[in-house]
Chains A and B, each alone.
Chain A
């Protein structure tokens, strides 16, 4: 098998880029799970909506031929995040808040799934069922390094950098700002946080806004690499569960490691087994982690007080 070092580096690079997208979605799962013990089962559809918003904005301002300017791209990113945040308020009001009162897992799981299939249907009606290309501000020509020995896809580089910035940025916000500390407090102990004067429902709503906005931004990042379509979210959202569980549903940045593990194993499967089966490692890893290390590779086993 002719497998060069350069190929290995490129394969790792692609795996990391893919992994960072999963990590971004999983990061969103973990934020809301920590505050409310619930998560948005339609996170992948929020990513899809974000991707379509960026597609529409770039198409209208820049057109099809040229890569968008950084300004247009930034505008698309902000628009996607805003839409994600606004829809999160609906999601939280319709699906999460009533379910938290009844205390049953069944209703919030089903309600978030319902909103996901509604979102997918609406996207199909607005944009159709085709795949659409969308251009990245960095263009799509590979960057040659070391005199052509190593080729790097700038769209992948952008995913890695932007996703890392978003996650580290939120971690920084969570540790330094008052609202961020409130998120940590609610995650640690909801009742105690409420007694300290923290408005727990607002913090939970905030965690959903952040989570969905991040997912929508993920759509803007991944769009240029994969095409944009109404069904693009499903598989990404599902793989992000695996990443979330690898990192530990309660852990913050554990998802980055989880994302890298999954992204790389998918690239390796695609290269050495078959591209058709590149979606299977996620499921296998998910089952194995649940079986062997259910708190995740980085989660702490917490004693639950009765």
Chain B
């Protein structure tokens, strides 16, 4: 497989590059293969949005039109050199990407689909109406010759003008999706809340994916006038936007090969099956529906299934990632909570009259609490007493109605990803992993904050980007070893047994180098043996200097490891103290366990 990557792919690229030397047929050369090259750039970009980020844009024809018309008008009216046209087309694509993405991607829901569809249709209308600029429905025919360094790039040779850029676009996409950007896209798609609490800004990454895609579409559009030396409004229809989506989905998302296969098949479809033209839209629609439900991974998925059936050995082959992992293992792990700004025993986290109301219900009511540095502090209380809500308030998932949260005396506010950056990490009551990602990639999302490389670093795969990736991977494996999951690094997270999923969540949370770790019922659903492991790991985390804030119902665990306990009932604090004090507290016994004979449940001796 590695052999193929090193030699086979460059050979295929060279072969594809030399096509104009063998193919005389002009229609095939520029109208089919030229178009395939242009559309492939768009489909690769769209894959970032649909395949990786899980958003839908059904207005890429509009962005394409913006690039194409900008380029055509500049060439025709102002005799602008082509590279400048491309630059303008790309910038306009990015600009409209921002205009569409900024409002729609802040929100949850189908807003991007809604506004992009509207955009596509409006652009087509404007192109039709702005006659002085676009010549309206008659289109622009005055496209000058395309030359570079005195070489004619028209007709059959247009392919050479665009092909190199298609290759670059595909490499660029691959660079992005194999980096922390790609992991962030997938994490946000799988579990936005957990991704945000790992420090990934939902808005920033969804917007990055969409704007990158929009810029690529504008770029591709600026080449388009040269395909037929003509552009007119009917091309840039809603159906074209849908075709781009069909190319992507039918070929198979999240795969370069899929992008190529899908684009090629949909472009040649009307030529191969001439008789279908009357039913073209219905066939497109049917194909999309069929792919969605019967070929969820598209043509590529089909090919992979066939390959696995024919060569079962290939399916279980060791991927390159695993060998890289083996090299990086063995680093001694030490947790590194932020340099001590407070001494052990001093307040780390303070809640001051923290209150949240959902309509008429006050879920947390004027909660005052202090968590001291270096301690394990438990928050207990009956179901519905506001424990998880408190954690959600601290981590920014809810905004308090009144009151405040302080970390080292400074106010904690903002979105979950901002709060994660302050050094607060958490796990979830209902395990919230990125199930389709590998175990090690889950932890690498937790290490999000350690990546500084920008867009160009990823696209160009600079030493900086490679170094960051390598050291993060080593760190992730070390953290997995810390919780005892090192040997499962390449497994998909959803395949882990439940108890190990809880441990993985802790490893991911430790990835952000927190000074405070919030554990929301880490022992829920575990067997008694697993609870023992969990106990040991929580102590290990504390001993490494990370303050632990624990919500738990297993009283044996709580009473044995906590330094301090706070008890909630109906959103209010009813007691705070050492385990011994809490076990003796009348109010706690009444509220939590019922009055008579319940007290012994609180004792650590009950299981002995």
A121 in contact with B397 (CB, 8 Å): no
Residue of A nearest to B358 (CB): A303
A276-B233 Cα distance, complex, nearest whole Å: 14
Within B96-114, the residues touching A (CB, 8 Å) are 99-100, 102-104, 106-111, 113-114
A242 in contact with B118 (CB, 8 Å): yes
A274-B286 Cα distance, complex, nearest whole Å: 39
A125 in contact with B288 (CB, 8 Å): no
A245-B110 Cα distance, complex, nearest whole Å: 11
Proximity string of chain B (226-258) to chain A, C-beta cutoff 8 Å, 1 when within and 0 when not: 000000000000110010010001000000000
- Does residue B119 face the partner (Cβ distance < 8 Å to A)? yes
A305-B358 Cα distance, complex, nearest whole Å: 9
Neighbouring B residues of A127 by C-beta, 8 Å: none
- Does residue A286 face the partner (Cβ distance < 8 Å to B)? yes
Within A69-114, the residues touching B (CB, 8 Å) are 94-95, 98, 104-107, 109-111, 113-114
Contact A111 to B292, CB < 8 A, known contacts A105-B54, A121-B281: yes
> Which of B108, B245, B392 is A110 in contact with, Cβ under 8 Å?
B245
Q: How far does the Cβ of B214 sit from chain A's closest Cβ, in whole Å?
A: 15
> Which of B50, B193, B279 is A306 in contact with, Cβ under 8 Å?
B193
Neighbouring B residues of A39 by C-beta, 8 Å: 110
Neighbouring A residues of B238 by C-beta, 8 Å: 234
A110-B193 Cα distance, complex, nearest whole Å: 25
A303-B129 Cα distance, complex, nearest whole Å: 43
- Does residue B117 face the partner (Cβ distance < 8 Å to A)? yes
- Does residue B280 face the partner (Cβ distance < 8 Å to A)? yes
B282 in contact with A121 (CB, 8 Å): yes
Stretch from B120-128, B305-313, B523-531, B559-567 forming part of the interface with A:
B120-128
- Does residue A196 face the partner (Cβ distance < 8 Å to B)? no
A103-B58 Cα distance, complex, nearest whole Å: 20
Neighbouring A residues of B126 by C-beta, 8 Å: 277, 280
B289 in contact with A114 (CB, 8 Å): yes
B121 in contact with A234 (CB, 8 Å): yes
Contact A290 to B107, CB < 8 A, known contacts A117-B239, A117-B242: yes
Interface size class of A (residues with CB under 8 A): 35 or more
B54 in contact with A110 (CB, 8 Å): no
Neighbouring B residues of A238 by C-beta, 8 Å: 117-118, 121
Contact A294 to B113, CB < 8 A, known contacts A115-B289, A118-B281, A305-B358: no
A287 in contact with B115 (CB, 8 Å): yes
Residue of A nearest to B56 (CB): A109
- Does residue B284 face the partner (Cβ distance < 8 Å to A)? yes
- Does residue B285 face the partner (Cβ distance < 8 Å to A)? yes
A305-B289 Cα distance, complex, nearest whole Å: 33
A98-B290 Cα distance, complex, nearest whole Å: 12
Q: How far does the Cβ of B238 sit from chain A's closest Cβ, in whole Å?
A: 6
Residue of B nearest to A38 (CB): B110
> Which of A104, A114, A286, A305 is B118 in contact with, Cβ under 8 Å?
A286
Neighbouring A residues of B102 by C-beta, 8 Å: 291
- Does residue B398 face the partner (Cβ distance < 8 Å to A)? yes
Within B265-317, the residues touching A (CB, 8 Å) are 278-282, 284-286, 288-289, 292-293
A109-B118 Cα distance, complex, nearest whole Å: 14
- Does residue A174 face the partner (Cβ distance < 8 Å to B)? no
A287-B116 Cα distance, complex, nearest whole Å: 10
Residue of A nearest to B189 (CB): A104
Residue of B nearest to A98 (CB): B293
A94-B288 Cα distance, complex, nearest whole Å: 12
A107 in contact with B292 (CB, 8 Å): yes
Within B184-221, the residues touching A (CB, 8 Å) are 193
Interface of A is mostly: helix
A79-B256 Cα distance, complex, nearest whole Å: 48
Neighbouring A residues of B249 by C-beta, 8 Å: 110
Neighbouring B residues of A114 by C-beta, 8 Å: 242, 284-286, 288-289, 292
Neighbouring A residues of B58 by C-beta, 8 Å: 41, 109, 113
Proximity string of chain A (218-254) to chain B, C-beta cutoff 8 Å, 1 when within and 0 when not: 0000000000000000110011011001000100000
A303-B389 Cα distance, complex, nearest whole Å: 12
Proximity string of chain A (113-132) to chain B, C-beta cutoff 8 Å, 1 when within and 0 when not: 11111101110110000000
Residue of A nearest to B131 (CB): A276
Neighbouring B residues of A241 by C-beta, 8 Å: 114-115, 117-118
A120 in contact with B114 (CB, 8 Å): no
Neighbouring B residues of A172 by C-beta, 8 Å: none
B282 in contact with A105 (CB, 8 Å): no
- Does residue A173 face the partner (Cβ distance < 8 Å to B)? no
- Does residue A259 face the partner (Cβ distance < 8 Å to B)? no
Q: How far does the Cβ of B235 sit from chain A's closest Cβ, in whole Å?
A: 16
A37-B113 Cα distance, complex, nearest whole Å: 14
Number of A-B contacts (CB under 8 A): 128
A287-B55 Cα distance, complex, nearest whole Å: 17
Within B339-365, the residues touching A (CB, 8 Å) are 358
Residue of A nearest to B123 (CB): A283
- Does residue A258 face the partner (Cβ distance < 8 Å to B)? no
> Which of B115, B289, B398 is A286 in contact with, Cβ under 8 Å?
B115
A38-B109 Cα distance, complex, nearest whole Å: 9
Q: How far does the Cβ of A89 sit from chain B's closest Cβ, in whole Å?
A: 16
A276 in contact with B289 (CB, 8 Å): no
Neighbouring B residues of A110 by C-beta, 8 Å: 56, 245, 249, 288, 292
Q: How far does the Cβ of A281 sit from chain B's closest Cβ, in whole Å?
A: 10
B392 in contact with A306 (CB, 8 Å): yes
- Does residue A279 face the partner (Cβ distance < 8 Å to B)? yes
Neighbouring A residues of B103 by C-beta, 8 Å: 287, 290-291, 294
Neighbouring B residues of A95 by C-beta, 8 Å: 289
A117-B376 Cα distance, complex, nearest whole Å: 59
Residue of B nearest to A235 (CB): B121
Q: How far does the Cβ of A10 sit from chain B's closest Cβ, in whole Å?
A: 24
Contact A106 to B54, CB < 8 A, known contacts A114-B286, A238-B117, A306-B397: yes
A142-B108 Cα distance, complex, nearest whole Å: 46
- Does residue A282 face the partner (Cβ distance < 8 Å to B)? yes
B114 in contact with A286 (CB, 8 Å): yes
A304-B111 Cα distance, complex, nearest whole Å: 17
Residue of A nearest to B392 (CB): A306
> Which of A249, A279, A306 is B125 in contact with, Cβ under 8 Å?
A279
A120-B122 Cα distance, complex, nearest whole Å: 19
Proximity string of chain B (68-111) to chain A, C-beta cutoff 8 Å, 1 when within and 0 when not: 00000000000000000000000000000001101110111111
Q: How far does the Cβ of B304 sit from chain A's closest Cβ, in whole Å?
A: 20
A117-B126 Cα distance, complex, nearest whole Å: 23
Contact A287 to B100, CB < 8 A, known contacts A276-B129, A280-B126: yes
Residue of B nearest to A120 (CB): B281
Contact A274 to B285, CB < 8 A, known contacts A41-B113, A305-B358: no
A125-B280 Cα distance, complex, nearest whole Å: 11
Contact A109 to B392, CB < 8 A, known contacts A115-B285, A117-B285, A291-B102: no
Contact A249 to B281, CB < 8 A, known contacts A113-B242, A283-B122: no
> Which of B239, B280, B289 is A94 in contact with, Cβ under 8 Å?
B289
Contact A117 to B121, CB < 8 A, known contacts A106-B56, A107-B292: no
Residue of B nearest to A303 (CB): B358
A111-B291 Cα distance, complex, nearest whole Å: 10
Q: How far does the Cβ of A91 sit from chain B's closest Cβ, in whole Å?
A: 11
B285 in contact with A118 (CB, 8 Å): yes
A274-B100 Cα distance, complex, nearest whole Å: 24
Neighbouring A residues of B113 by C-beta, 8 Å: 41, 105, 109
Q: How far does the Cβ of A242 sit from chain B's closest Cβ, in whole Å?
A: 7
A186-B245 Cα distance, complex, nearest whole Å: 32
Chain A to chain B contacts (Cβ below 8 Å), 21 pairs: A95-B289, A104-B54, A105-B110, A107-B292, A109-B110, A109-B113, A110-B245, A115-B285, A116-B285, A121-B282, A122-B282, A234-B121, A241-B114, A279-B125, A280-B126, A283-B119, A283-B122, A286-B118, A287-B115, A294-B106, A306-B193
If A113-B245, A234-B238 are given as contacts, then 15 extra A-B residue pairs at C-beta distance below 8 Å, sorted by A number, are A38-B110, A94-B289, A105-B55, A107-B292, A109-B110, A109-B113, A110-B249, A110-B292, A117-B285, A234-B121, A242-B118, A280-B126, A287-B100, A294-B106, A306-B392
Query: Top 4 closest A-B pairs, CB basis?
Result: A276-B129, A290-B103, A121-B281, A118-B285
